[in-house]
A and B are shown apart, each in its own frame.
Chain A
């Protein structure tokens, strides 16, 4: 059974810092990995999707990397802003099904 773990569970950083969120998964036979953002009381917004054949994806100040062999992914946020405050979830798609398995998320707070 695929398990997805995210560390840390919560993180507080001052504005302007670069930061890294971590995601690990137990079964490396994945089809893809996605990073989502969830604001309080709202649904999830897809940020980046990395195919299993890819090593990384970039969108603006966000960069996600994937190392299938070690079962790890990182989300790098450059020059953090208060508007980045949210919960960030990673999810993996098993190789033979489209059912996403989510981690429990990292709650990020960027302070002024």
Chain B
């Protein structure tokens, strides 16, 4: 079974530039999550999609971050403009059903972003 695919693996940009990350969840998984993991901290949920609808984006800095999941499959996360404090690993995860509360999450390898 193919896992959660993310790209790019690494990205280095200057502050105020824009950047986009891509995620392809496990085939058939209804729920998709984007997490931000700052060095030395646990992951923090940015946004959760159920099919192509947003379930939770309460911790997404909407003035600069945006995300979409067209057709309920792939997803992109964009930062525009980036700040130094956005340097982190951005993890995508998916789970099979729509009742995410008791489901196992499968994570991708993440995109490591460095903002200079």
Contact = CB atoms under 8 A, between A and B. Distances in A.
Contacts of A45: 107
B56 A99 contact: yes
Contacts of A100: 43, 45, 105
Interface string B90-116: 010100000111101111111010000
A89 interface: yes
Provide the main secondary structure of the chain B interface. mixed
A91 interface: yes
A98 B55 contact: yes
B105 A102 contact: no
A51 interface: yes
A31 interface: yes
A105 B43 CA distance: 10
Contacts of B105: 34, 44, 46, 100
B101 A93 contact: yes
B101 A102 contact: no
A98 B42 contact: no
A99 B93 CA distance: 12
A34 B91 CA distance: 17
Nearest to A31: B101
Interface of B: 4, 31, 40-45, 48, 55-56, 91, 93, 99-102, 104-110, 112
Interface of A: 4, 31-32, 34, 41-46, 49, 51, 89, 91, 93, 97-105
Given A4-B42, A91-B42, A100-B105, 11 more contacts: A32-B101, A41-B109, A42-B109, A43-B110, A44-B107, A46-B104, A46-B105, A51-B102, A98-B56, A99-B45, A102-B43
